[in-house]
């Protein structure tokens, strides 16, 4: 098999983690008889500062024929975040109808949680985040800008089709995992959108009689992800709630540098996109110490999505083996002093 992958290293530590990871992906794929062709796109904030655009007008046309997309991160301290996000990441997620965002949180052997008393494997859940609408719908505006009577309106838009798609994906995952699904809402305060969400969950639940459904308000869920993270299996949440909860998920399982994600186009009409949960980390950029594991595991999710399970498994196992080995190098976020490249080399040794 051979795959064409569009890579968008992006900003900050994005290029650091992507550039170091690509040779590893070539290597692991070729060992399984899989040929990888990576094409790099230099889209991001450097381009924005030169041209006023994060990516060209025909950007989506340029990458629509790729089998998948691997992205580093976007975001730059000199440019306001809504410009970078709306100029690159969100147009791809929305334009390629990547409705399902899948984000696993796992406490790996050898990694210490900041929460007391949890051991390897105790924390192992996956968040299904709605990825193209909800609070990120871009519906709204600002009027009377700069005046005392200025008004800002930002509406969340939840469609039946979008909600059903994410809820169904989460039920399917719960069926394959431990059969427990937690639906996250704020139905007490958001009495239109979130009661609609509850209704959709209630309508779909009978199709999955073996899945036990729990409903939690997002504030309580934030507390419970810290108080009892071991009791979660699959969570399903709107775009904004899912974004927030997955940062909690990443840190309770050890580090932002370990958390992978997939933005999935469920009907395979467009390419899916895989990226670490973390951002461009301006506080550590240029030091060569960004943890590449979130990117490597995002690539593992990409291979699984492409149907290359053996390649995916090899990457997951190699990352687990490095983390479990006390003598193996890890980056400072995990208490080590290794560089990005040294960690990638250690992963490669254990393939
Ligand atoms: P961030 O995820 O970039 O950093 C949060 C903290 O985690 C920092 O202390 C950082 O050093 C650490 N960290 C993140 N990734 C790491 C890695 N691989 N290895 C070691 N440590 C790591 O979030 P922050 O600081 O809120 O945002 C920075 C910029 O990134 C902003 O411009 C923001 O808009 C953007 N951003 C972009 C995202 C994306 O491209 N998907 C997601 C989140 C933020
Ligand atoms: Mg986020």
Measured on CA atoms in the order 46, 49, 50, 55, is the torsion positive or negative?
A: positive
> Phi, psi (5° rounding) for residue 130?
-65, 140
3-state secondary structure of 254: coil
**In a mutational test of the pocket of ligand 1, which residue from 48, 101, 242, 279 has the highest number of ligand atoms less than 8 Å from its CB?**
279
Separation of CA 211 and ligand 1 centre (Å): 34
- Is 326 catalytic? The answer is no
Of 75, 44, 93, 126, the closest CA to residue 297 belongs to 126
The residue nearest atom 36 of ligand 1, judged by CA position, is 279
ipTM over 0.90: yes
CATH number, span 1-101+259-351: 3.40.718.10
Is 118 one of the annotated active-site residues of the chain? no
In the chain the first and final C-alpha atoms are separated, in Å, by: 20
Annotation marks residue 219 as catalytic: yes
Q: What angle do CA 268, 193, 74 make, to 5 degrees?
A: 50
**Pocket lining for ligand 1, CB < 6 angstroms:** 13, 17, 73-75, 81, 89, 256-257, 275, 278-284, 290-291, 294, 331, 333
Counting ligands in written order, the one closest to the CA of 71 is: 1
CATH architecture of the domain with residue range 124-252: 3-Layer(aba) Sandwich (3.40)
In the set 11, 243, 270, 333, the catalytic residue is 243
**The domains spanning 1-101+259-351 and 124-252 adopt the same CATH topology:** yes
Q: How far is the CA of 265 from the centre of ligand 2 (A)?
A: 19
Helices and strands of the chain, counted as H and E runs:
12, 12
**Sign (positive/negative) of CA torsion 282, 283, 287, 293?**
negative
Among 258, 235, 280, 260, CA closest to 89: 280
> What is the reported pLDDT for 123?
97
Q: Render each residue's pLDDT in the chain as its tens digit; 351 residues.
A: 999 999 999 999 999 999 999 999 999 999 999 999 999 999 999 999 999 999 999 999 999 999 999 999 999 999 999 999 999 999 999 999 999 999 999 999 999 999 999 999 999 999 999 999 999 999 999 999 999 999 999 999 999 999 999 999 999 999 999 999 999 999 999 999 999 999 999 999 999 999 999 999 999 999 999 999 999 999 999 999 999 999 999 999 999 999 999 999 999 999 999 999 999 999 999 999 999 999 999 999 999 999 999 999 999 999 999 999 999 999 999 999 999 999 999 999 999
**Ligand 1 atom 43, closest CA:** 279
210 tagged catalytic: no
**Residue 57, C-beta contacts closer than 8 angstroms, at least 6 positions apart:** none
* Number of the ligand 1 atom closest to the C-alpha atom of 85: 34
Q: What pLDDT score was predicted for residue 338?
A: 98
Strand positions, DSSP E, the chain: 2-10, 35-40, 68-73, 100-106, 124-130, 134-143, 151-157, 180-185, 212-217, 234-237, 260-264, 272-276
Q: What b-and-e string marks burial along 189-224, b requiring 16 or more CB atoms within 10 Å of the CB?
A: ebeebbebbeebbeebbeebeebebebbbbeebbeb
pLDDT, residue 135, reads: 97
What is d(CA 73, CA 81) in angstroms, rounded to the nearest whole number? 12
The CA distance from 213 to 234, in Å, is 10
Residue 296 pLDDT: 98
Kindly provide the residue ranges of all beta strands, DSSP E only, lying in 167-321, ordered along the sequence: 180-185, 212-217, 234-237, 260-264, 272-276
pLDDT on residue 253: 96
Whole-number Å distance between alpha carbons of 320 and 110:
8
What are the residue ranges spanned by the domains of the chain? 1-101+259-351, 124-252
Give the C-alpha separation, 239 to 158, whole Å. Answer: 10
CA-to-CA distance for 190 and 202, rounded, in angstroms?
Answer: 17
> Would residue 4 show up in a list of annotated catalytic residues for this protein?
no
Residues with CB under 5 A from ligand 2 (ion): 243
- pTM exceeding the 0.90 threshold for the entire prediction: yes
């Amino acid at each position: 098999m051979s795959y064409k992958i569009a890579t968008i290293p992006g900003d900050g530590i994005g290029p650091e983690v992507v550039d170091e990871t690509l040779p590893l992906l070539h290597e692991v794929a070729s060992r399984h008889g899989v040929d990888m062709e990576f094409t790099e796109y230099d889209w991001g904030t450097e381009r924005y500062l030169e041209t006023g655009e994060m990516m060209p007008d025909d950007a989506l046309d340029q990458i629509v024929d790729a089998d998948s997309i691997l992205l580093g991160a976007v975001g730059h301290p000199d440019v306001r975040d809504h410009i970078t996000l709306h100029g690159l990441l969100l147009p791809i997620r929305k334009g390629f109808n990547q409705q399902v965002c899948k984000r696993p949180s796992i406490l790996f052997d050898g990694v210490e949680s900041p929460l007391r008393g949890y051991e390897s494997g105790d924390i192992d859940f996956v968040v299904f985040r709605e990825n193209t609408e909800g609070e990120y719908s871009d519906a709204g505006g600002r009027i009377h800008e700069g005046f005392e009577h200025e008004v800002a309106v930002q509406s969340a838009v939840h469609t039946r089709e979008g909600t059903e798609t994410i809820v169904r994906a989460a039920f399917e995952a719960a069926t394959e995992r431990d059969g427990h699904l937690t639906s996250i809402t704020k139905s007490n305060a958001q009495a239109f959108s979130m009661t609609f969400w509850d209704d959709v969950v209630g309508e779909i639940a009978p199709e999955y009689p073996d899945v036990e459904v729990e409903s939690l308000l997002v504030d309580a869920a934030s507390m419970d992800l810290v108080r009892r993270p071991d009791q979660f299996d699959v969570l399903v949440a709107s775009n904004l709630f899912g974004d927030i909860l997955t940062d909690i998920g990443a840190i309770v399982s050890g580090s932002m540098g370990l958390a992978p994600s997939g933005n999935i186009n469920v009907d395979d009409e467009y390419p899916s996109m895989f990226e670490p949960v973390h951002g461009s980390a301006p506080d550590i950029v240029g030091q060569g110490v960004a943890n590449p594991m979130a990117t490597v595991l995002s690539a593992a999710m990409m291979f699984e999505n492409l149907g290359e399970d053996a390649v995916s498994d090899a990457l997951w196992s190699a990352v687990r083996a490095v983390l479990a080995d006390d003598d193996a190098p890890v980056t400072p976020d995990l208490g080590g002093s290794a560089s990005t490249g040294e960690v990638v080399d250690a992963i490669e040794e254990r393939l």
